[in-house]
Amino acid sequence: MTRAGSSNGTAVLSADRVLDDHGVLRPGWISFASGRITGTGAGTPPNRAQHLDGLTLVPGFVDVHQHGGGGAAYTDGPDAAVTALRTHRRHGTTTSVASLVTDTVEALEQQVVSLAGLVQEDELAGIHLEGPWLSELHCGAHDTTLLRDPVWAEVERVLDAGRGAVRMVTLATERPGALDTVRELTRRGVVAAAGHSDATYAQASEAIRSGVSVATHLFNAERAVHHREPGLALALLRSERVVVELIADGVHVHPAVLRTAMEQAAGRFVLVTDAMAAAGAPDGAYRLGPLQVQVRDGRATLAGKDTIAGSTLTLDRAVRYAVHEVGIPLEEALTAVTAAPARLLGRNDLGSLVPGARADLVALDDDLQVRAVWRRGHRCDEQS
C-alpha cells in the first residue's frame, strides 16, 4: 500500500521497519522533497532508495522542555542555543522548545528577544517560561529571591518581547493572580502549565477549569500526594484535559511511578528531558540561570546541595529507559516523544510520517540507539 502526496520525491529512504501513523511497515519506505514528506508505503519503494539495513525509521523527536545541552544554555543567547540544538539533534530531537528559568522580568525580556529570531526561523519551536511565578516551597533549582506572584502586566511584557515566540508558561497556580493569568494566557493561545506548586487538589482542579493544560514534570517540585490531600499531581494526572510531562531518566521519578502515570495518562503523556547545559557534555561545573550546578556521574544538582537541577538527559535515552526499564511498549514511548508533544504545540507537521509533514526522521537500531537523523530532509546527526 502506498500513501503519497506527490510522485516526484527527490529522495527515498527504505528500512526494514517504518513506524508511520498507520502502524509498522515491514519493510517500508519514505520519500521527501523540499524538506517535506511526499509519500510513504510498504514493500518495494517506487523509485531507487537508500536502504537502511536492520534499522527502524521513526518521526523526529519533539522535546517541549529543554534548557540546553552540549555545554550551552538557552539563557546565554542564540549562539549557545545553536550548540544546544545541534547536540540534541544528534540524539534524534529535531524539534526543541527552549525553556528559561527564573530570573528578573527585565532579564527574561532580554533572553526572549535574543531567542525570538530562532523561533521565527523555526529552528526553535517556541520558548517556555519556567518561572519566576513559582512556589518558594517547591522552587527546585530556581532562585527563591526572584520568585513572585504573577501580575498580568509583567507577564504580558515578556510575551510581547517575544513577538509570539513564547509558547508555554509554567506557574504555581495557587499564587495570587495565577488564575487570572492562566485565563489570559489561554486567551492569547499560550499554553498554561502548572508546576513548582503547593496547590491543593481543589486549587489545582480550579486551575484546570481556568485553562491549565500541561503538567510540568509531574511529581517533581510540587506538593506530595497524600491520601487525605491528593494535591496538584493527582488532579493533573486524572484530568483528561491535561498533557502530562514525565522525565524518564532513573533520577527524577521511580520506574513504578512512571509506569503508573503513563498508564493513567495513556495517550496524553509526553517524555521531556528538562535537560540543562550538561546534556551531551562531560561532568563538571555549570550554570542553570543564575545558579551554580555540579554534575557528577551524569546527575545534576545545585552546587553544595542535593537538589536536582534539571537533567543531563536526551530523548533517545528517555525512550530506551521507558522501554527497557519501565516496560512501556515501544510504540507508546515513541508517541510520547513524537505525536503527543507535537499535538501539545499545535503542530500537525511534526511528530508524524505523513505526506506534507516536515521530513524529520530518526533511524534506530534494535537497541534503540540513534544511527541517523534527518531534519527537513537533510542529514544532521553528523554536524559538528
Q: Is 63 a catalytic residue?
A: no
Contacts of 277 (CB under 8 A, 6+ apart): 67, 68, 69, 70, 71, 72, 73, 84, 286, 287, 288
Per-residue burial over 223-255, b if 16 or more Cβ lie within 10 Å, else e, is: beeeeeebbbbbbbbebeebbbbbbbbbebbee
Among 274, 316, 360, 381, which one carries the catalytic annotation? 274
The x, y and z cell numbers of residue 75, run together, are 539563557
Contacts of 159 (CB under 8 A, 6+ apart): 166, 188, 190
The x, y and z cell numbers of residue 107, run together, are 532579564
Contacts of 315 (CB under 8 A, 6+ apart): 61, 63, 88, 91, 92, 93, 271, 273, 337
| Pair type for strands 127-130 and 93-101 | parallel
Cα–Cα distances (Å) from 294 to 212, 300, 310, 311, in that order, read 33, 6, 11, 11
Tell me the C-alpha distance between 160 and 112, whole Å. Answer: 9
Residues tagged active-site: 274
